[in-house]
Amino acid sequence: MAQAARARTQADGGQPDRSGPRPRLSRLSRRLSGPAGLPGLPGLARLGGGSAPHGSPDPRVPGGPHAADDPHAAHGPHAGYGPPTAYGPPAAGSAAGSSAAGRRGRWGRWGRDARGRSTWRRGLVPALLAAATAVLLVLHAEVPNRVGNLGSLLETFLPWLGLALPVLLVWGLLRRSALALAVLLLPVLLWADLFGGLLSDRSAAGGDLTVLSHNVNAQNADPAATARDIVASHADVVALEELTATALPVYERALAAAYPYRAVRGTVALWSRYPVTGTRAVDIKIGWVRALRTEVRTPRGPLAVYVAHLPSVRVKFDAGFTADQRDNSAEALGEAIADERLGRVVLLGDLNGTMNDRSLANITSQMRSAQGAAGDGMGFSWPASFPLARIDQIMTKGVTPVSSWVLPATGSDHLPVAARVRL
């Protein structure tokens, strides 16, 4: 049989006969060799017909004539057991390469993501939230008050909707969503139109009179210190709200030297450097006195001054934003101001509502906010520890606000607010 094999080899031109069961042996040898090689079976993968002809030395075999020239030639007890190891990044078709490409497709570029969605078809959730924010900014007056006064609650804290905008911006960028970023432009422009101007300093120099309003807090543990802070403000007219029977004498003694004229009605009072006359209580429909009207004789003529403390509002889980009594009082106060015979009017007080609150429309429709017209920033006044809303107001009618500001905290849970006006 050996002679027959040699004869076939010579008949084929000296090439070994590779017909028969050789391919099966080749597949088996490849399985046995594997990427790591098998000890004791060196070069088995080449039994099925490797690149080197029989009798030719394989340069990858340890100790062969070209072993020293092969950078991948292994040395040691397992030398030659398998193909050389490939180093470097995974091939594009490998599993690791496909995973990295998928991550780049989803987060690293603005084209289609791993699921085949374009930049205009992903980021639907942040786009919807941006659209909802825009709707609230435009139609906040349409949110009904029938259920828990939700409309007034929204309007009280309406500027804080702006906090959603940077969050939605980051979300849209992370999702590489042109859709989310395009929709986000709408609430950004709306918020800037409503409140952007309040971020700047609108104050000016000059003015004829400085007025101050402060809810001193019935629980104030040190009214004397609060009174000293008020004197240090150098205001010409001071309105205080939430006075108690025990604290009132303290304020009267502490303020007497700087403010020789005063008017007190119920739990509100006014101190002035100039004479006051025509003082009377204003009925705001709550059963006791929390508002007054007086006339201050300034060097530039008479000025009607109203001091008011509207009923408090509460946020309750079972009843929502309870503000019915406050709303009725605001209506009554607005009617009193509308009936005022003097053309120059200033309103000072804790109204327990912001200028955006529709429930104060009977007042805000005829008066101008000093903070909105001539303030520096939002002018939030409550709570004093972390102000979230401006519910302490200075409003004018027939008088021009020149500047408006918030004073440092006293012993109260409200911050004092002040303004300078031109008569």
Residue 7 within a domain: no
- In the predicted model, is pLDDT for residue 162 greater than 90? yes
Q: Is 380 helix (H, G, I), strand (E, B) or coil?
A: coil
* Domain containing residue 314: 208-422
Domain annotation covers residue 9:
no
Query: Is 2 inside any structural domain?
Result: no
pLDDT, residue 45, reads 42
Is the pLDDT at 82 greater than 80? The verdict is no
Q: Which of 45, 69, 87 is the last residue of a domain?
A: 87
> Is 140 inside a domain boundary?
yes
Higher pLDDT, 414 or 73: 414
User: 273-277 — which CB contacts under 8 Å span 24+ positions?
Assistant: 273/236, 273/237, 274/236, 274/237, 274/298, 274/299
Do residues 138 and 260 share a domain? no
244 with 322, same domain: the answer is yes
| 203 lies in some domain | no
156 belongs to a structural domain: yes
pLDDT tens-digit series, residues 103-151:
554 445 688 888 888 999 999 999 999 999 999 999 998 998 887 778 8
Q: What is the pLDDT of residue 216?
A: 98
269 shares a domain with 193? no
Domain boundary at 150, 174, 198, which? 198
Q: Cβ-count burial of 279 within 10 angstroms (0-12 exposed, 13-18 middle, 19+ buried)?
A: middle
Prior bond of 383 cis (ω within 30°): yes
Label residue 321 by pLDDT band (50, 70, 90): low
Residues present in the chain in total: 423
Per-residue tokens: 227: 């009174």
| Degrees, nearest 5: CA angle 152-387-196 | 70
Neighbour-count burial of 380, counting CB atoms closer than 10 A to its CB (0-12 exposed, 13-18 middle, 19+ buried)? buried
Could you read off the pLDDT of 277-292 as tens digits, one per residue?
999 999 999 999 999 9
Q: Tell me which of 67, 87, 107 is where a domain ends.
A: 87
| Residue 52 and residue 78 in one domain | yes
Within-domain flag for 104: no
Q: Are residues 82 and 123 in the same domain?
A: no
- Overall average pLDDT of the 347-371 stretch: 96
Considering the domain architecture, whether residues 138 and 158 belong to the same structural domain is answered as: yes
Residues 220 and 173 in one domain: no
Looking at the fold, whether 184 and 217 belong to one and the same domain comes out as no
pLDDT tens for 3-36 read: 544 545 454 555 555 555 555 445 544 544 554 4
Chain mean pLDDT for the chain: 82
C-alpha 186/C-alpha 134 separation (Å) is 6
Q: Taking residues 54-65, what's their average pLDDT?
A: 48
d(CA 338, CA 290): 18
Read off the tokens for 272.
Answer: 């002035």
Residue 80 CB neighbour total at 10 angstroms:
18
CATH number of the domain that residue 416 is part of: 3.60.10.10
Which residues lie across from 294 on neighbouring strands?
Answer: 305
Is residue 206 pLDDT above 80, yes or no? yes
Instruction: Let me know whether 283 and 360 are in one domain.
Output: yes
Could you tell me if residue 54 is inside a domain?
yes
Q: What is the model's pLDDT at position 353?
A: 94
pLDDT band at 153; cut points 50, 70, 90: confident
pTM score = 0.71
Tokens of 243: 């006075």
Same domain, 299 and 214: yes
Number of domains in the chain: 3
Domain co-membership, 194 together with 135: yes
> Which amino acid is it at 39?
P
- Partnered with residue 392 across adjacent β-strands are 350
Per the listing, tokens 């069961």 go with 21
